[in-house]
Amino acid sequence: MNKPFFKYYLITLVIITFFILLNCGRPLQQYGIDDFPKVAKIDAHVHINNEHPAFIEQAQQDNFRLLTINVDYPDFNPIAEQQQIAVTLSQKYPQTVAFVSTFSMNGWDDPSWVENTIAQIDQAAKQGAVGVKVWKNIGMDFRDKNGELVMIDNPKFDPIFSYLTGKKIPVVGHQGEPKNCWLPVEEMTVKNDQHYFKNHPQYYMYLHPEMPSYEEQMAARDRMLEKNKELVFMGAHLASLEWSVDEIAKFLDRFPKAVVDLAARMGQVQYQSSRDREKVRQFFIKYQDRVLYATDITFEPTAHPDTFRTEVHERWLLDWKYLASSDTLKVPELDNSFTGLALPVKVIDKIYYKNAQKTFPTAWKKE
pLDDT 10s digits, 192-208 = 999 999 998 988 999 99
pLDDT above 50 (res 19): no
Residue 3 lies inside a defined structural domain of this protein:
no
Give the Å distances, CA to CA, from 274 to 152, 232, 270, 333, 348. Answer: 34, 32, 6, 12, 20
pLDDT above 70 (res 22): no
Residue pLDDT, tens place only, 236-281: 999 999 999 999 999 999 999 999 999 999 999 999 999 999 999 9
Residue 19 lies inside a defined structural domain of this protein:
no
| Predicted confidence band of residue 23 (pLDDT cuts 50, 70, 90) | very low
Concatenate the DSSP letters of all residues of 65-77 into one string. EEEEE----TTSP
Residue 229 lies inside a defined structural domain of this protein:
yes
- What's residue 2's pLDDT? 57
The CATH number linked to 314 is: 3.20.20.140
What are all long-range contacts of 192-201, with beta carbons under 8 Å and residues at least 24 apart? 192/264, 192/267, 192/332, 192/333, 193/267
pLDDT above 90 (res 187): yes
Please state the domain count of the chain: 1
Q: Which of 11-20, 66-75, 259-268 has the lowest mean pLDDT?
A: 11-20
> Measuring CA to CA, which residue among 248, 197, 245, 184 is closest to residue 218?
248
Rounded to two decimals, what is the model's pTM? 0.91
**What is the enclosing helix (H) or strand (E) of 83?**
helix 79-92
pLDDT above 50 (res 321): yes
Residue 281 lies inside a defined structural domain of this protein:
yes
What domain range includes position 291? 35-359
- What's residue 298's pLDDT? 97
3-state secondary structure of 85: helix
- What's residue 366's pLDDT? 60
Arithmetic mean of pLDDT, 174-180: 96
Residue 4 lies inside a defined structural domain of this protein:
no
> Measuring CA to CA, which residue among 297, 296, 295, 298 is closest to residue 322?
295
Residue 217 lies inside a defined structural domain of this protein:
yes
Cβ atoms 31, 345 nearer than 8 A: yes
Cβ atoms 127, 99 nearer than 8 A: no
Residue 12 lies inside a defined structural domain of this protein:
no
- What's residue 3's pLDDT? 55
> Measuring CA to CA, which residue among 278, 173, 171 is closest to residue 230?
171
Residue 58: alpha-carbon gap to chain centroid: 19
Residue 365 lies inside a defined structural domain of this protein:
no
Arithmetic mean of pLDDT, 62-80: 95
Q: Residue 60 — φ and ψ, nearest 5°?
A: -65, -40
Concatenate the DSSP letters of all residues of 9-59 into one string. HHHHHHHHHHHHHHHHHSPPSS--GGGTTTS-EEEEEEEE---STHHHHHH
